[in-house]
Amino acid sequence: MAQVQADRDLAVVIGLEVHVQLETDTKIFCGCSTGASEEPNTNTCPVCLGLPGALPVLNEGAVEAAVKVGKAIDASIPERTRFHRKNYYYPDLPKNFQISQYDAPICQDGELEFAVEGERRTVGIERAHLEEDPGSLKHKGGSIDTAEYTLVDYNRAGTPLLEVVTEPDFRDAGEVRSFLAKLEEVLEYLGVFDAERDGSLRVDANLSVVDGEEVGPDGEIDDATLEAANRTEVKNISSHKAAEKALSYEAQRQKNAIERGRAVEQETRHWDESRGITVSMRSKEEEKDYRYFREADLPPLEVADWKERIEIPELPDARRERFREEYGLGEEAADKLTSTKQVADFFEDVAAAFDADLAATWVADNLLGELNYRDMAVTDVDDRLDEIQRLVELVATDEITAKNARETVLRSMLDDGRHPDTVVEEEGLGKTSGDEVQAAVEAAIEDNPDAVADYHDGEEGALNFLVGQVMQATGGSADPGDVNQLLREELES
Ligand code: ADP
Ligand code: ZN
Ligand code: MG
């Protein structure tokens, strides 16, 4: 294999294999639940345990989800798709083969556009195919290479996976992070994915370093160069943050090796999150090692008419554009309000009930701001959206001040779980009418001639005293700024 010269400019090349768990109630080839279970090896049956004679039955929901993803990434979906057996021995794979797809994957030749530091980038998606998830291994007393022993749990075995394989189009680790965030966003919009679920997105990343002169003006690199480059496959990456860290590390490791005149071994490496390094695992398998052959227990699947029948919702980019036009939102607000489908749906509900400006302030600034401050997401309050809408209503109908709504009611709703009406009532936040405040101002002046005289002698403290009197008289429900203003006007007149 070609080795890059140490004294040249070096360029990084990255391609991804992203394993996405598709959200279905049951597993891809049996009726076992995909739900979380505390007890290991309870969501299992002869099919997902690979017992002799057990036959797989394809889950329609998994195919539907894959077709949705295919449409969202502009992939071509063939007339018919079929399954293969990928043979390898690993303790989390009870059949010693994985049912996967080989020469007729459900999606081919797609692409995904994303933004990285304000620039639009498009990455090609070579294919996306359906397969079954293996079980999970629990390494006891260490990580994969240091554990004393390992336990296996087959609850996860048979969860539907879509493996999304990108072209080697990434040129640095930051692009990978932005791409993965965008992919998750699209998957969530499609309703086929749950980012909160542990291990729902797992990435294997291929990384090589090539001579900078091989990179064309638009970042393109010819196939022969890509083919010839020695690359490593980094496994065990489970978030966009981890992807950026692992690939920055791996890029630097390869560059260092080249600069010291050493060869980059073609191998599989494991990302050790706690140590922040990649470690060598084994030499990389090649395709022929897997002895792919047709899965005779599953007939080929005609998907031509599924493609026609299955519809997908408006996707984040389109929705962002529409929000800007329809509601006159700025770029930042539109980005925030379309960050997840749930946020976008909630914003549109509030905008329809009141008005777009109020909805934008309340959802993008107040709600997301307070949630963010508490390290929470909208998913943490999704059963209380009607309460938040009630809070906006209290502001819209002028029953409480915006300041109280934001600083007292919303915070108390999030911190103590109280209903907005309860907070308003218990804290006495109901807005006192203008007349009442005016009357209290006049009474305070009349009842406190000494303070009035002090005020006219230039003592600022006297005004504060009078404000205090009015606040007391109105039970704290008047706006102190307004009271201050009214008192000054009254005293100067
Ligand atoms: P394999 O034969 O190892 O399965 P593929 O051509 O199917 O190789 O590609 C697997 C992954 O490796 C893809 O995500 C692809 O983008 C990536 N890849 C291919 N060439 C390179 C390279 N030179 N550097 C980094 N990644 C690459
Ligand atoms: Zn099962
Ligand atoms: Mg391959």
What is the rounded average pLDDT of the residues 261-285?
A: 89
Last residue of a domain, one of 282, 309, 336: 309
Paired tokens of 320: 């962002």
CA of 26 to the centre of ligand 2 (A): 8
Main-chain phi, psi angles of 438, to 5 degrees:
-60, -45
Instruction: Give, as residue ranges, everything with CB less than 5 Å from ion ligand 2.
Output: 30, 32, 45, 47-48
Last residue of a domain, one of 373, 401, 427: 427
Residues 131 and 27 in one domain: yes
Instruction: Find where tokens 């203003």 sit.
Output: 485
Map residue 202 onto helix, strand or coil.
Answer: strand
Q: Which of 148, 193, 210 is nearest to 5 (CA)?
A: 210
The pLDDT tens digits for 325-352 are: 999 999 999 999 998 899 999 999 999 9
447 part of a folded domain: yes
The pLDDT tens digits for 247-256 are: 999 999 999 9
The pLDDT tens digits for 79-133 are: 999 999 999 998 999 999 999 999 999 999 999 999 998 899 999 999 999 999 9
Q: Which of 178, 184, 176 is nearest to 201 (CA)?
A: 184
* Any ligand 1 atom below 6 A from CB of 108: no
* Any ligand 1 atom below 6 A from CB of 209: no
- Residue 286 confidence (pLDDT): 78
Residues 469 and 340 in one domain: no
Ligand nearest to the CA of 169: 1
Ramachandran bin of 174, using left for φ above 0, alpha for ψ from -120 to 50, beta for the remaining angles: alpha
52 part of a folded domain: yes
The full DSSP string for 72-106 is: HTT-B--SEE--EEEE---TT-TTSEEEE--SS-S
The pLDDT tens digits for 397-429 are: 888 888 889 999 999 999 999 999 999 988 878
Q: Give the whole-angstrom CA distance, residue 92 versus residue 98.
A: 10
33 part of a folded domain: yes
- Residue 482 confidence (pLDDT): 84
What is the rounded average pLDDT of the residues 209-214?
A: 93
Residues 35 and 93 in one domain: yes
- Residue 6 confidence (pLDDT): 58
- Residue 38 confidence (pLDDT): 83
Q: Are 423 and 411 in contact (CB under 8 A)?
A: no
Specify the pairing of strand 160-166 against strand 10-21. Answer: antiparallel
* Any ligand 1 atom below 6 A from CB of 451: no
Helix 434-447 crosses helix 480-492 at what angle (to 10 degrees)? 50
What is the rounded average pLDDT of the residues 193-218?
A: 93
Ligand nearest to the CA of 133: 2
Residues 100 and 173 in one domain: yes
Residues 244 and 348 in one domain: no
The pLDDT tens digits for 45-82 are: 999 999 999 999 999 999 999 999 999 999 999 999 99
Last residue of a domain, one of 408, 427, 446: 427
**For the CA of 167, the nearest atom of ligand 1:** 16
Q: Count other Cβ atoms within 10 Å, centred on residue 423.
A: 22
Residues 213 and 79 in one domain: yes
CA of 129 to the centre of ligand 1 (A): 16
139 part of a folded domain: yes
* Any ligand 1 atom below 6 A from CB of 226: yes
4 part of a folded domain: no
Domain count for the chain:
3
Main-chain phi, psi angles of 376, to 5 degrees:
-115, 165
**For the CA of 221, the nearest atom of ligand 1:** 23
What is the rounded average pLDDT of the residues 356-375?
A: 95
* pLDDT-derived band at 1, boundaries 50, 70, 90: very low
| Exposure of 332 in the CB half-sphere (CA atoms within 13 A) | 4
Identity of the amino acid at 208: S
- Residue 492 confidence (pLDDT): 86
Q: What is the mean pLDDT of the chain?
A: 92
The pLDDT tens digits for 289-314 are: 899 999 999 999 999 888 889 999 99
What is the rounded average pLDDT of the residues 245-273?
A: 94
Full residue range of the structural domain in which residue 320 is found: 316-427
Residues 184 and 37 in one domain: yes
Q: Give the whole-angstrom CA distance, residue 202 versus residue 140.
A: 21
Q: Are 424 and 430 in contact (CB under 8 A)?
A: yes
Residues 24 and 104 in one domain: yes
469 part of a folded domain: yes
Residue 233: pLDDT over 90: yes
Residues 343 and 454 in one domain: no
- Residue 361 confidence (pLDDT): 95
240 part of a folded domain: yes
Task: Tell me the β-bridge partners of 122.
Answer: 113
What is the rounded average pLDDT of the residues 360-385?
A: 93
Paired tokens of 28: 């891809």
Residue in 206, 254, 267 to alter for ligand 1 test, most ligand atoms within 8 A of Cβ = 206
Give per-residue burial for 303-323: e unless 16+ CB within 10 Å, then b.
beebeeebebeebbbebbebb
Give per-residue burial for 137-170: e unless 16+ CB within 10 Å, then b.
eeeeeeeeeeeeeeebbbbbbbbbbbbbbbebbb
* Any ligand 1 atom below 6 A from CB of 130: no
pTM: 0.82
Residues 145 and 57 in one domain: yes
Q: Which of 126, 246, 104, 226 is nearest to 174 (CA)?
A: 246
Ligand nearest to the CA of 288: 1
* Any ligand 1 atom below 6 A from CB of 223: no
1 part of a folded domain: no
Residues 241 and 358 in one domain: no
Residues 365 and 485 in one domain: no
Ligand nearest to the CA of 170: 1
* pLDDT-derived band at 181, boundaries 50, 70, 90: very high
CA of 32 to the centre of ligand 2 (A): 4
The pLDDT tens digits for 2-45 are: 556 656 789 999 999 999 999 999 999 999 999 988 899 999 99
Range of lowest pLDDT (392-401, 454-463, 475-484): 475-484
